[in-house]
Amino acid sequence: MTGPLRVWSLPWALLYLRHEVLALPGRTLALLFVLFLLLFPLFSQDPYWLRVLTLTAIFALYAASWDLLSGYTGQVSLGHAFFFGLSGYTSAILGRETGLSPALTIPLGALLATLAGVLVGLPSLRVRGPYLSLVTLAFPIIATGLIFLFPRFTGGELGLSGLPRLGQSRLEEYYLVVVIFLISLLILWKLAGSRIGLLFHAVREDEAAVRMVGVNTVRLKLLAFAVSALFAGIAGGLYAHYLRVAGPDSLSLFNSIQPVIWSVFGGIATIYGPVAGTFLLFPILEILRVTEELRMLAFALLILLVMRFLPQGVVRGVLDRLEEVCPRCKVRNAFTRRHCRACGVELHLPAAKEVKP
């Protein structure tokens, strides 16, 4: 099936689904997750759960954008809310001043967040580690100060409310957010698995060695900041218009820490790990509202338990139990297979008998 017409034919798709997707538990779970998001409204259109899933998808995109920057390149950002809030405020102000629809103001807000990402990335050329984290933390604090300094323009503590909605109904907004989330996630995943993603990894591990082989690490780090800020900006614009308010809470320290928690919980430097972490933690935090007094305590205990038994994150911990890497060709296989699906080598070799002296 090498011809251009046969590659995308139905038999090819079925064979690909059987041998490349369903052959691995991780990919099967990913397929079920996508189907769940797309088909959920067919079984329930409860406004509360549509709202929870919509916000979860927005925050999952936000967490994945943080992972591309901090997980892959090691440029730990503690002020990621700057891009998130800046895009929301930009979209809100543009909509108010020009009357443009969210379909135009959200991309423009994300574009400004991208430029801000390059600006925030400039200090990374001189400072590293905790010093860079503190520098990134300063930007949302400065932005919050400017918001309080010009309350007539930014709305001050109350923010800008009454923003245009993303769609005509909650169901339309749900599908719009989910589609944007899935497309953005696919782009981030492909980028992370590309040559650029490998260079991001290399910068994190040994930046000096990468420079010695002739790679411009300055461009790489600025690119990581820009792309990460772009998708954080998209999430921020969607968040502002979904809640119909752009407030200083979007720039808060808590909003900067949240993607760190979700990413570490799910599995850092994986893109899909932060998504899993967000889709596990955010709904659980909502469910725990039934015990408001013990809500944060239970939430903290859950995180501590997972970090104790799955220190590499939920996704990696689970996948390491469901899949194994072939020692010969390094292709991943389901744990039930006895032979590698690529090279056929035996995966479960019998233990060598102990030789008595």
Q: pLDDT digit string (tens) for 315-357?
A: 888 888 888 888 888 888 888 888 888 888 887 666 555 555 5
C-alpha to C-alpha distances, 36 to 29, 33, 336, nearest whole angstrom: 10, 5, 25
pLDDT at 64: 96
Average pLDDT over residues 91-107: 93
pLDDT at 18: 82
pLDDT at 142: 93
Count Cβ atoms within 10 A of the Cβ of residue 240 and give its class: 0-12 exposed, 13-18 middle, 19 or more buried: buried
DSSP secondary structure string, 315-340? Answer: HHHHHHHHEEE-TTT--EEETT-SB-
pLDDT per residue over 13-31, tens digit each? Answer: 888 888 888 888 888 999 9
Least confident of 30-34, 121-125, 208-212, 229-233: 121-125
Q: Which residue, among 1, 23, 34, 10, has the nearest Cα to 189 in the 3D structure?
A: 34
Compare 206 and 11 and report the one with higher pLDDT.
Answer: 206
Average pLDDT over residues 36-46: 93
**Other C-beta atoms within 10 Å of 120: how many?**
27
Residues 6+ apart with CB under 8 A from 357: none
Question: Given phi > 0 = left and psi -120 to 50 = alpha, else beta, which region is 217?
Answer: alpha
**What are the start-end ranges of the H helices in the chain?**
4-7, 10-16, 25-43, 47-66, 73, 81-98, 102-121, 129-149, 151-154, 170-193, 195-205, 207-212, 217-243, 253-266, 272-287, 295-309, 314-322
Residue type for 225, please? F
pLDDT at 1: 47
Residues 6+ apart with CB under 8 A from 276: 266, 267, 314, 315
C-alpha to C-alpha distances, 2 to 6, 13, 18, 77, nearest whole angstrom: 7, 13, 18, 45
Residues 6+ apart with CB under 8 A from 153: 93
Compare 289 and 167 and report the one with higher pLDDT.
Answer: 167
Task: Read off the tokens for 176.
Answer: 């719009």
pLDDT of 291 higher than 90: no
Residues 6+ apart with CB under 8 A from 279: 33, 56, 60
Q: Please tell me the distance from the alpha carbon of residue 57 to that of residue 264, in angstroms, as a whole number.
A: 17
- Report whether 319 contacts 26 (CB < 8 A): yes
pLDDT at 354: 56
- Report whether 247 contacts 155 (CB < 8 A): yes
**All domains of the chain, ordered by start, with CATH?**
20-334 (1.10.3470)
pLDDT at 92: 94
